[in-house]
Copies of this chain bind each other. A is one copy, B any other.
Amino acid sequence: MLSLTEENYLKAIYHLSDGGAKAVLTNALAVAMNTKAASVTDMIKKLSAKEVITYEKYYGVNVTPKGKTEALMVIRKHRLWETFLVDKLGFAWDEVHEVAEQLEHINSPRLIEKLDEFLGYPKVDPHGDPIPDHKGKIKIQPQVPVDQLQIGFQGKIAAVKDSDSNLLKYLDKIGARPGVKIKVLGKEEYDESMEILIDDHRVFISKAVSQNILVVG
């Protein structure tokens, strides 16, 4: 059983490690958790003792299979609650993150199964991120940031990397929501801005923005 704080650390480790693919350094985790390296070292020891991560001094941490499942359950809850807030309560998709950060720690497997059913077993959340099923299985479609696409590419917006509120508001304004059609028309050499079609609507976006829009084929 993990405490609320331990759950948040584990979730951050899972994300920083790209789902368990690579080791996470103490400092990176300290930045992500908005805390100090010394605090991270302490917490790492506790999470190792609980066998959700493995820890090698000065080299960083890796999630264990057990830890991965636990992290995915927190992510499942987070994304189901976000879906609830948008689909049922009428929140805008850029307003739900902070509340979902709280709701994700409610501990009741029955509640989550009922909520999943109530929402109609959604596959993705309002940001387009996949929702792990009750066994922790997640369907990973390769998501590519717009700035890496070739001219002429056509696809669908899958998710947004940064969850900064101002970015999300801007994307909403230009109609760049998950699920929407997207096509690359051109790239500007000089400032790396791009001309794209969002749901058949022509817009220009900066490098900072194109890096944060993830698409699938």
Chain A interface residues (CB < 8 Å from chain B):
85, 88-91, 95, 98-99, 102-103, 106-108, 110-111, 114-115, 117-118
Are B102 and A108 neighbours in the complex by a CB distance under 8 Å? yes
Are A106 and B99 neighbours in the complex by a CB distance under 8 Å? yes
Nearest chain B CB to A160 CB, angstrom units: 21
User: How many chain copies does the complex carry?
Assistant: 2
Query: Considering the chains assembled together, what is the distance between the CA atoms of A91 and B110 in angstroms?
Result: 9
Nearest chain B CB to A134 CB, angstrom units: 15
Are A107 and B102 neighbours in the complex by a CB distance under 8 Å? yes
Are A111 and B99 neighbours in the complex by a CB distance under 8 Å? yes
Are B91 and A99 neighbours in the complex by a CB distance under 8 Å? no
Q: List B contacts of A102 (CB < 8 A).
A: 106-108
Are B108 and A106 neighbours in the complex by a CB distance under 8 Å? no
Nearest chain B CB to A108 CB, angstrom units: 5
Q: List B contacts of A118 (CB < 8 A).
A: 88-90
Residue in chain B with minimal CB distance to A102: B106
Query: Considering the chains assembled together, what is the distance between the CA atoms of A85 and B187 in angstroms?
Result: 51
Nearest chain B CB to A112 CB, angstrom units: 10
Q: List B contacts of A117 (CB < 8 A).
A: 89
